[in-house]
Structures are given as structure tokens and as C-alpha cells.
Amino acid sequence: MRTLAAALGFLFLASAHGQNWPSFRGPGASGVLDTSRGAPVSWDVAAKRNIAWSTAIPGLGHSSPVVWGDRIFVTSAVSSDPKSVFQYPLAGELDRRTDTSKHQFKLYCLDKRTGKIIWEKTADEGVPRVTRHPHNSYASATPATDGKRVIAFFGSEGLYAFDMDGTPLWRQSVGPLDQGAFDMPDYQWGSASSPVIYKNLVIIQCDQRKGSFLAAFDASSGKPVWRAEREALPSWSTPTVYEGPARAELVTNGAEYFRGYDPMTGKELWRIKGTSMISVPTPFAARGLIYLASGYFRFIQPIIALKPGASSDVAPSSMAWRTEKGAPYLPTPIVYGDYFYAFGSRGVLAVYNAATGERIYEQRLAAGAFASSPVASGGRLYSASEDGDVYVVKAGPKFELLASNQMGEVVMATPALSDGMLIVRGLSHIFGIAE
């Protein structure tokens, strides 16, 4: 009986841990969470079919929800200006409108079962130190949690840690971040890169016009541990730690280079030249490879499947495969099963063999734009357009659209998965979608 009880206890703990979605795109930024109970294929917001709950979140935030246990965490920037600008759809033209009014930079905690707001905390309050693009928000960085603390990053407004009940633990200023268009020095876009937690470290990537850097802070105290200067122009990618059998690699995407670092010291391990001048997709690992993509649509669009353990300037022999075209501009691709899926910013899905890079098929999903990254569960892929349509595609070598679900509002954030629930953040609400 004692052995059975121990086994059941282990299974319970493993299952509970499996429901966590602790940072941008979930565990290891993979975007994948397969459990015994998958998220629904279809739902109806207006009729409340398969909608467990919906909760209004004040302010403007493009950050994704994260989950630990029965709690959801999300950030927002609440403007004092009732006419705060948000441009949708992106016009593709120079637009210098912004919001320089006083803001509250907030962290919200919701009950996963009911959507009720358990607590909200104001991390900071004041006029933003650096302006944002009207298509961006002042709360675009997704928080991260390890079950002990929640880390919220507001770019130029700083890095903040709270315990799971909302008690402030520490804060760190990173200074104003000059993150704007690479070809227009005075055209500010704002930040978006999210923090990651690795062992006892909180790691952030701050690429800007001058003085780009990676920095690591002690997760318990907030004290600086290391800082690595980078020769890089502004980028908006979140770093990822790949932990292999031989070593761990902190992998970054940035203007001109992909780079790998030792996550405990910040020492550069390798670099690959050839990224686009605007780099957004997050690196991630799957099937024993590290996947890299950088696809500003006007220029270079490389996709690379990198073998772990590279050094210095990476040789072609260290790459499982590489293609020079097809990387998305904004969404991070995903590997699910045997295939690599790239949901392009212009609504085109391209599918490759994840091991070889062979193109399997290409299919247009929509005419609109995509900023959100795909997630996968239960043999299905979920991808949300900015128009608020969530497309559900069957995983595999042949295209099959299972459903198109309308959220009724703009969607910029990447959904989260937990315990059979798809958690979608729209412009005004967070939705818990479950059978």
C-alpha cells in the first residue's frame, strides 16, 4: 500500500507540474503542452459555449498569461488618458502617435478555475521613460514564475519580483531602453522581450541602439549576478535556455546574429551571422535541436535547426538544416511531433520536416496579420490572428483546418495552455476556454 501511495503521489505531482505554463510560450518556450485532456476545438464567445469564464483586464497589455497551479498571472499598463492610442491594424506607415500620460504598471493574479481576480499590484506609477509605437503596449513582456515568485518586466520602467500572494520582493532598474527602428534613430517602438528564470537566475535581454546587454539577477534578492554587453541593434526577442546532457546554452536572437551564452556566467559560446535587422521570434528547443528564426519580411528570413554544443563562429556542419527564406516576422514557430510549423505574420502557414527541413506544404489561413505565436496540444495547433480569429489546425503532413473561432476583440498575445484550458488574452479580456 505504501508503494502504491508513493506512486500515486508521484503521478499527482508530475501531473500538477505538467499543467504549469511558467513563461512566454510555456516550458522552454516550446509552445507545447500535451495532457490527457486537450483544449476544445471550437467555442462561441457570444453564446458562452466552451467558455469557462471571461475577465476584463484594465489598461493595455500585449503580454501573454502565465500559469502556476491554479493561478494565472498577467501584466498591464493602465493609462490615465481615456483616449490612449492603440493602432489596429498596423498601417505600415510612419506613425509617431504615442501615450506619454501617467501610467500604472500592474500585475494581476487570476483564479484559473473561475477567472476571478485574486489580487492586483502596482509595480510602478509614472510617465513612461521611453515612448512606444501605437501598435505596441507598455506591458508587452510576458511575466515569468517558478512557483515561488513572479517576475514582471516593464522594459524601461524596470524589473519587479512579487511572491505568489502579491507581496513585493525586490525591484531593479535597467535604465531607459532606446528600442526603436534600426533605420530611424528617433522613432521609438518600446520593448517586448520577456524575462526567463533559470535555476536561481532571472535573465533579461535588452537590445537597443547603443549599449545592448544581457543581464542576470539573483531570483531571491534581485542582486546583479552578471552582465554581458552585446554588439546589437534593437530586437524584441525573448531568450531561451536549452539544457542538454553536456551543457546549458542561453540562446538569443538579435539583429545580425544568433548567439549562445553560458547562462550561469554570460560568456559567449557561439554566434551565427545572418539574421534580419528586426528580430522578434524566440529561439526554442525540440527533438534534440535548437530552432532559430528571424524573418523581417522585407529582407533576410533564415530558419536554422542547430545542433547543441556549437562553438565560436558556427560551421554549417553544426546545423541539421538551414533555409534562407520562410521565417516569420513576429510569431515564434513551433515544432510538434515530426513537423516544424511557421505561422507567418501575413497569415500563411508553412510546414517543414523538423529533422531535415524539407518543405511539406504551405497554406494561407487568413488575409489578416498575426502577432501571436502558435501553441499546440491534443494533436492540434492553435494560432490567433490580430483580428481575433483563433485557427485550429490538425497537426500532421496534410493541411486540415478544424475550426476558426472568433474572440470578438483584437488578439496580440500568445495563448497559454493548462489542464485542458486554452487561455486567450484579447485587447480587453482574458478568456478561459475549456470543455
Q: pLDDT tens digit string along 154-203?
A: 999 999 999 999 999 999 999 999 999 888 888 999 999 999 999 999 99
In a domain, 347, yes or no: yes
Report which residue type is found at 7: A
- The pLDDT of residue 65 is 98
Judge whether 9 lies within some domain: no
Characterize the bridge pairing of strands 389-394 and 401-406: antiparallel
At residue 220, what is the residue type? S
Number of domains in the chain: 1
Residue 363 belongs to domain spanning: 18-433
Give residue 35's pLDDT: 78
Q: Is residue 33 assigned to a domain?
A: yes
pTM: 0.94
In a domain, 5, yes or no: no
3-class SS of residue 12: helix
The span from the CA of 283 to the CA of 373, in Å, is 12
Q: Is the residue at 75 inside a domain? A: yes
Q: What is the pLDDT of residue 92?
A: 78
64: in domain: yes
What pLDDT is stored for residue 7 in this prediction? Answer: 38
Grid cell 514564475 in the structure block, residue? 145
Q: Is residue 6 included in any domain, yes or no?
A: no
Extended beta strands in 176-280, E state: 196-198, 201-206, 212-218, 224-230, 240-243, 248-253, 257-261, 268-273
| Termini Cα distance of the chain | 35
Q: Distance between CA atoms of 392 and 151, rounded to whole angstroms?
A: 31
d(CA 188, CA 252): 22
For the chain, which ranges sit under pLDDT 70? 1-18
* Whether the Cβ atoms of residue 256 and residue 273 lie closer than 8 Å to each other: yes
Q: What CATH number is associated with residue 117?
A: 2.130.10.10
Nearest residue to 227 via CA among 283, 267, 279, 172: 267
Give a yes or no: residue 2 inside a domain: no
